[in-house]
Amino acid sequence: DKAEDMKPRPPVVTIMGHVDHGKTSLLDAIRKANVVSGEAGGITQHIGAYQVEQDGHTITFIDTPGHAAFTAMRARGAQATDIAILVVAADDSVMPQTIESINHAKAAGVPIIVAINKIDKPEADAQKVRTELLQHEVFVESMGGEVQDVEVSAIKGLNLDRLLEAIVLQAEILELKANPDRTAEGVVIEAKLDRGRGPVATVLVQAGTLKPGDILVAGNEWGRVRALVNERGQQLKDAAPSTPVEVLGLQGTPQAGDRFAVVENEAQAREISEYRQRLAREKAVARQAGQRGSLEQM
Ligand code: GTP
Ligand code: NA
Ligand code: MG
């Protein structure tokens, strides 16, 4: 892509942190507080990702069980996240999965924003969290570092705006861009077989613009896009970079972390997916043979 084709795109944010520190509560609180006006009556369905507006800036949140999705995608080499929100409960402070999350974000080169959660609790100690984070080389601003930290309460809805502002600021530093005027590609966030609608994949468009009628290959599967649906159940005419969207029309169910790309025609799509399915079968057979081989050697 030429530099002049690159256009600003929203940040894609994942939430990480120790069990029960409030990841789901925080995502739910942000989503509830930011229902776009006029759409409040819409049925919000869970599609594993959603977008909110903050002072005219769009932010994309991936809300599949953050940690698992992030790890699975990284294992598959699919970098889907621009910014990681590290949720640390102020009454529990830094715990093993907090440290794991820090290591994941650092390994992926993804900047962290710390959300010190549960500050409504009497036993909350935000300063202890900041001090313990120092030991893991997360230096928050008030400790002379560059990592933004925001004290929040997901339950009371405290300081959610400040957290969104921190994300917007971090995104501006990153100068995130993508070319919307090319064939679409991106990553599968989650996928399922829906009884009524058939295979449904929630994808994140990372470059190009996805449209109904496009033919795409996602992992080992392919299909012609029958409809693009957002988290409010609305059908979209197109999905630009950083837009999460449900894709209907796939022939099968791809896996979280699979990459997808739009191709020229059905013949090409079929050829690629048949080739990949054959490779997958051969790998499975080889694996079984390997297991038999090592058993025979015992
Ligand atoms: P896992 O997905 O199981 O790792 O947990 P989680 O990080 O998603 O935490 P979750 O949102 O499920 O919250 C865990 C518990 O903490 C629940 O009982 C929440 O009600 C509670 N909780 C979350 N945020 C807050 C908060 O800001 N204040 C208080 N007092 N409780 C909170
Ligand atoms: Na929980
Ligand atoms: Mg949760």
Please report which ligand is nearest the Cα atom of 22. Answer: 1
The catalytic site residues sit at: 20, 23-24, 67
Provide the pLDDT for residue 297.
67
Beta-strand runs (E) in 74-137: 83-89, 112-117
Give the closest residue to 166 by CA, choosing from 95, 114, 117, 116. Answer: 114
Measured in Å, residue 5 CA sits from the centre of ligand 1 at 42
Q: Which of 25, 160, 163 to mutate to test the pocket of ligand 1 (most atoms within 8 A of CB)?
A: 25
Distance CA 70, CA 57 (A): 24
Please report which ligand is nearest the Cα atom of 25. Answer: 1
Q: Is 21 in the pocket of ligand 1 (CB under 6 A)?
A: yes
Q: Is 118 in the pocket of ligand 1 (CB under 6 A)?
A: yes
Q: Is 98 in the pocket of ligand 1 (CB under 6 A)?
A: no
Task: Provide the residue-wise pLDDT of the chain in tens; the chain has 298 residues.
Answer: 889 999 999 999 989 999 999 998 999 899 887 755 444 444 456 677 889 999 999 999 987 654 565 666 665 555 788 999 999 999 999 999 999 999 988 988 999 999 999 999 999 999 999 999 999 999 999 899 999 999 999 999 999 999 999 999 999 999 999 999 999 999 998 899 999 999 999 999 999 999 999 999 999 999 999 999 998 889 999 999 999 999 999 999 999 889 999 999 999 999 999 999 999 999 999 998 887 777 666 6
Provide the pLDDT for residue 290.
86
Provide the pLDDT for residue 108.
85
Provide the pLDDT for residue 65.
56
Q: Is 18 in the pocket of ligand 1 (CB under 6 A)?
A: no
Q: Is 65 annotated as a binding residue?
A: yes
- Phi and psi, residue 223, nearest 5°: 175, 165
Provide the pLDDT for residue 75.
58
Q: Is 154 in the pocket of ligand 1 (CB under 6 A)?
A: yes
Provide the pLDDT for residue 298.
61
Provide the pLDDT for residue 223.
98
Provide the pLDDT for residue 217.
98
Measured in Å, residue 66 CA sits from the centre of ligand 1 at 14
Helix axis angle for 160-174 and 23-33, nearest 10°, is 90
